[in-house]
């Protein structure tokens, strides 16, 4: 069985950038629903229920076709949110560390990286995620639709932003750009470095 991971901070700790109500609904309703639906999708597959979620999403060809889309949607939803939560922490406008250095070298400045990443997030049509992934020591920005995981296409993520409306609608309504700006105030660059070292 899969379980909701513990949230590493309180619902209000990202205020005012991400409000407490959004955090609570996002975590206890949306993420929980992905966990529940993943468990019910796999209820007749005890061998798959024992695997870890990364393993399932990296090897979609081994999932029976009848439940594969369920694993992509609900397993991806579970893993993407589990990966997202620890990446959030108020940074007081500071950005530093190993990954930031590489980003500045690649994009010319932190502002240039922010612009490109934000543009990908703004222009993502419908629901999905924007990612920073590591590809042979090179950092790339990619986008996935719905709850598709970058692991399923052989990518190694180190940072992500949830751009589903449920992630920002209560506070920002249709102003996705304001939510993206706020996200940059709560990127936990220490966690990004940790993810980078673990690749
Ligand atoms: Mn979400």
User: How many Å lie between the centroid of ligand 1 and the Cα of residue 166?
Assistant: 6
DSSP assignment, residue 62? G
Own/partner long-range contacts of 56-60 (Cβ < 8 Å, ≥24 apart): 57/149, 57/151, 57/152, 58/151, 58/152, 60/152
Residue 135 banded pLDDT, cuts 50, 70, 90: confident
pLDDT for residue 67:
98
For residue range 63-109, what is the model confidence (pLDDT) as tens digits?
Answer: 999 999 999 999 999 999 999 999 999 999 999 999 999 999 999 99
Is a pLDDT exceeding 90 seen at residue 136? no
Question: What integer is the mean pLDDT of 32-51?
Answer: 98
Give phi and psi for 165, each to the nearest 5: -60, -30
Percent pLDDT > 90 in the chain is 98
* Residue 105 CA to ligand 1 centre (angstroms): 31
Please give all residues whose CB falls under 5 A of ion ligand 1, grouped by chain where several chains appear: 162, 164, 167
178 CA distance to ligand 1 middle (Å): 17
**What is this structure's pTM?**
0.97
How close is the Cα of 197 to the center of ligand 1, in Å?
A: 25
Tell me, in angstroms, the distance from the centre of ligand 1 to residue 33's CA: 11
Distance (angstroms) between ligand 1 centre and the Cα of 19 equals 14
171 Cα: distance to centroid of ligand 1 (angstroms): 14
Centroid of ligand 1 to alpha carbon of 58 (angstroms): 20
Closest residue by Cα to residue 117 from 127, 105, 107, 102: 107
CA-based nearest residue to 167, from 191, 145, 151, 183 = 183
Give mean pLDDT, residues 99-125: 98
Q: How far is the CA of 184 from the centre of ligand 1 (A)?
A: 17
Radius of gyration of the chain (CA): 17
């Amino acid at each position: 069985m899969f379980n909701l991971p513990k949230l590493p901070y309180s619902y209000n700790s990202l205020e005012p950038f991400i409000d407490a109500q959004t955090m609570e609904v996002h975590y206890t309703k949306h993420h929980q629903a992905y966990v529940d639906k993943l468990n019910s999708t796999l209820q007749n597959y005890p061998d798959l229920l024992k695997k870890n979620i990364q393993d399932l999403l990296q090897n979609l060809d081994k999932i029976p076709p009848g439940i594969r889309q369920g694993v992509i949607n609900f397993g991806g939803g579970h893993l993407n949110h589990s990966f997202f939560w620890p990446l959030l922490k108020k940074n007081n406008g500071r950005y530093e560390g190993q990954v930031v250095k590489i980003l500045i070298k690649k994009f010319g400045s932190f502002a240039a990286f922010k612009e490109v990443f934000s543009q990908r997030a703004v222009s993502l049509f419908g629901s999905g995620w924007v990612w920073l992934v590591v590809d042979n020591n090179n950092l790339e920005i990619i986008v996935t639709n719905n709850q598709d995981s970058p692991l399923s296409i052989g990518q190694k993520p180190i940072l992500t932003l949830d751009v589903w409306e449920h992630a920002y609608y209560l506070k920002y309504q249709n102003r996705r750009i304001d939510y993206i700006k706020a996200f940059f105030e709560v990127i936990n660059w220490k966690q990004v470095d940790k993810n980078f070292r673990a690749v």
